[in-house]
Amino acid sequence: MDLLFSLVINGLMLGSLYAMVSVGLTLIFGITKVINFAHGEFMMIGMMLTYIITTYLGIHPYLTLVFVVPLLFLLGIVVQKYLIEPLKDSDEHIQIFATVGLSIAMINLVLMLAGSNNFNTPSSGLRETLGLGAATVLTGQVVIMLCSIFMVGGLHLFLTKTQMGRAIRATAQNRNAAQLMGINVSRINMVTFGIGIACVGIAAVLLSPLYPVNAQTGQSFVLIAFVIVVMGGLGSIAGAFYAALIIGLVDAFAGFYLGSSLKDVAVFGIFLLVLIFRPSGLFGNARKLAHVS
Amino acid sequence: MLQLNNVTSGYGATTILHDLSLEVKEGEVVTIVGGNGAGKTTTLRTVSGLIETTSGSITFEGEDITHLPAHQVVDRGITLIPEARQLFSEMSVLENIQMGAYRTAAKSQYNQRLEEVLTLFPRVKERLQQRAESLSGGEQQMVAIARGMMACPKLLMFDEPSLGLAPIVVSQVFEVVKQIAKSGTTVLIVEQNVNQTLKVADRAYVIENGKIVMNGQAQELMGDDHIRKAYLGI
C-alpha cells in the first residue's frame, strides 16, 4: 500500500512537470496550427538563462522568473513575427520545417557558445526531500506540481474570461469570422506564440534547480511533450494536463516494475494504443480534430 | 458612402470580378442580385478585405480602403455578416455576440446595443448561454445578424442571409433587414432570393460573370423583362 501510494505521488509529480512543458506546445498548436518543433529548445534556452542569471547575480533560481519569462515571451513574439508569419501563405509543412530548422540552429548556437557541458543551477534547498506520508519527494517537485495547476487554471481563466482570451479562441474556431469581427489575426498569433513560449519559460525556471542543462536537454523533454499533446487531443489544454498526469503515472509504475530501461517502452506502447483506438486523443473528439486540420 | 471603381479581384490566378463599379449612398438599402457564381459573395469579401483587390479602388466615406486588411476595414465601420453564418461554434451565443463588439467604437455602446439587439431577437435572448452550434439554422442566422449589429457598423453587408432557411424564417430575416435600415444603418445585401430582396431594397445591381450588367431602382427592375425571366421565373 505504501509502495503504491509512493509510486502514485511520484507519478503525479513527474506528470505535472510534463504538463508544464506541454501546455505551451498544445496552446500554440491549438490556436496558430503551427507544430513547434523548437519547443524543447526554447525550454533549454530558458534553463540556460536561469543558470546564467542565478550564477552571476547570486539570486534564488525562482527569482529569475522575472527575467526569463518576459524574455521568452518576447523571443516567441519575434519568432512568430519574423519566421512563421512570413511563411503563412506557403504550405503548412513549410512552417513546420522552419521550426525544425530553428531547433537545430538553437542547439548548435548553444553548442558553439557553451560546448556540450552540463550546467547545474544552484538548487537553493529545492532538492531537499519532503515526506508526504509514505512517499518522499523533492521540495522543488511540490512547487512544480502546484504551479502546473495554477498555470492550467490561469490559462483557462485567461481564455474564457478576458476579451483577449475570447479573441484567441474565436481565431482558433473560425479565422475568417474572427477577422470580420475586427480581430487582427496576425497579432493574435504573435501573442499566442509568446504566451506558449512564456509557459515553457516558467517550466524552465522551475526545472533548473532539479535538472542539469546542456544543449540537448530540450530534445529529451520535447518527445514526451508531443506524446502528451497528441494524447490530450491536439490543442486542448485540459486534455494535455490529464494526459501528462497519465504519462507521469505510467512512467513511475513502469520504472519500478519494468526497470528504467524499459519504461519508455511502456510509455510509447500506451501512446500507440491510444493512437490505434482513440486517434483523436483521449480527450479530443473527431469533430475537433477536423476543425483543427 | 461606399464606392467601387473598376475593381478586379479573385482567388489566386482565377479572376472573378472584372472592372466592377458600384456605389452605395448613405442611408440606402442596395442589393446585388445574380446567379450562382456570378461574383456576389466575392464582391462583399473584396470590400471587407478578405480578398485582395488586384486593380481598381474602393473608397469608404472618402477614404481609400482598397488595401486595408480585414480587421481595419471593420474599424472603419463596415461589417460583413458572412454566408453560412460562420459563428464561433464552440462558444456560447453570448460570447459570439460579445465578439461582435470587438471593434473599438462598439465597446462604449455595448450595453445599450446589447439591449437593442436582444429586443429585436427575443429567441436569441432565450439562448444566450447555449453553445452556438446547438441552435437551429434560423436561430444561428439571427445570432449572426445580432453579432454583426454589435459592431455598430455604418455599413452592414449581408451575404445570402436567407440561404438554407425555412420560408417563414426567410420572411423574418427580411423583416429584420428592413428594421435595421429604418434605424439608419446603410445596408448592402447580396441574395439569390431576388423577389424578396427587391421588395426591401431601394436600388439594385444585377451581376453576371463578375460584371454589373444592369442597375436601377429596385421597383423598376422588378418590372424589367430580363429580370423577370432570368431571376423571378415569371
State pLDDT tens for residues B132-170.
999 988 899 999 999 999 999 999 999 999 888 888 889
Give the pLDDT score at A292.
Answer: 39
Q: Is B75 on the interface with A (CB under 8 A)?
A: yes
ipTM above 0.85, yes or no: yes
What tens digit of pLDDT does each residue of B218-229 get?
Answer: 888 888 887 777
Is residue A10 one of the residues assigned to a domain?
A: no
Which residues 6+ apart lie within 8 Å of A252 measured at CB?
A7, A8, A10, A11, A14
Q: How far is A293 from chain B (nearest CA, A)?
A: 16
Q: How far is A227 from chain B (nearest CA, A)?
A: 25
Examine the pLDDT at B7 and tell me if it is beyond 60: yes
Examine the pLDDT at A186 and tell me if it is beyond 80: yes
Q: Is B90 on the interface with A (CB under 8 A)?
A: yes
| Chain A 89-108, residues with CB within 8 Å of chain B CB atoms | none
Indicate the average pLDDT of chain B: 90
Is residue A131 one of the residues assigned to a domain?
A: no
| Annotation: CATH topology of B1-69+187-234 | Rossmann fold (3.40.50)
Examine the pLDDT at A286 and tell me if it is beyond 50: no
Among the partner residues A169, A177, A185, nearest to B82 by beta-carbon distance: A177
Give the pLDDT score at A63.
Answer: 95
Helices (H), B153-224: 167-182, 194-200, 218-223
Examine the pLDDT at B204 and tell me if it is beyond 70: yes
The number of beta carbons lying within 10 Å of the beta carbon of residue B121 is 20
- Report the SS3 class of residue B85: coil
| Chain B 44-73, residues with CB within 8 Å of chain A CB atoms | 48-50, 69-71
What's the rounded Cα separation, in Å, for the pair B200 and B221?
13
- Which residues in chain A are contacts of B141 at CB distance < 8 A? none
- Which residues in chain A are contacts of B159 at CB distance < 8 A? none
Examine the pLDDT at A144 and tell me if it is beyond 90: yes
Domain boundaries, chain B: 1-69+187-234
Percent of chain A clearing pLDDT 70 (strictly above) = 97
Interface touch A184/B99, C-beta < 8 Å: no
- Which residues in chain A are contacts of B100 at CB distance < 8 A? 181
Is residue A16 one of the residues assigned to a domain?
A: no
Mean pLDDT of A102-109: 96
Which residues 6+ apart lie within 8 Å of A161 measured at CB?
none
Q: How far is B221 from chain A (nearest CA, A)?
A: 31
Q: How far is A180 from chain B (nearest CA, A)?
A: 6
Q: How many domains does chain A have?
A: 1
The amino acid at B91: M
Interface touch A173/B89, C-beta < 8 Å: yes
Give the pLDDT score at A285.
Answer: 57
Is residue A73 one of the residues assigned to a domain?
A: yes
Interface touch B71/A183, C-beta < 8 Å: yes
Which residues 6+ apart lie within 8 Å of B62 measured at CB?
none
CB A237 within 8 A of CB A27: yes
Give the pLDDT score at A52.
Answer: 96
- Which residues in chain A are contacts of B80 at CB distance < 8 A? 180
The secondary structure of residue B232, as a DSSP letter, is: I
Give the pLDDT score at A287.
Answer: 43
The number of beta carbons lying within 10 Å of the beta carbon of residue A2 is 9
Is residue A18 one of the residues assigned to a domain?
A: no
C-alpha angle B171-B106-A80 in degrees, rounded to nearest 5: 110
Structural domain of residue A279, as residue ranges?
24-115+137-292
For residue A31 the three cell numbers come to: 490556436
What's the rounded Cα separation, in Å, for the pair B157 and B50?
14
What's the rounded Cα separation, in Å, for the pair A221 and A266?
17
Of B60 and B233, the structure prediction assigns the larger pLDDT to B60
Mean pLDDT of B90-115: 89
- Which residues in chain B are contacts of A180 at CB distance < 8 A? 48, 50, 70, 74, 79-80, 82, 86
Reference B67, options B78, B56, B75, B77; nearest CA is B56
- Report the SS3 class of residue B229: helix
Q: Is A168 on the interface with B (CB under 8 A)?
A: no
Dihedral of CA atoms A101, A106, A111, A116 in degrees, nearest 10, equals: -100
Mean pLDDT of B110-133: 90
Q: How far is A166 from chain B (nearest CA, A)?
A: 8
Give the pLDDT score at B181.
Answer: 92
- Which residues in chain B are contacts of A166 at CB distance < 8 A? 91, 95, 98-99
Q: Best mutation site among A173, A180, A187 for testing chain B: the one with the most B CBs within 10 Å? A: A180
Query: How many Cβ contacts (< 8 angstroms) between chains A and B?
Result: 65
Q: Is A190 on the interface with B (CB under 8 A)?
A: no
Interface touch B74/A173, C-beta < 8 Å: no
Is residue A272 one of the residues assigned to a domain?
A: yes
Pairing relationship of beta strands B29-33 and B186-191 according to DSSP bridges: parallel
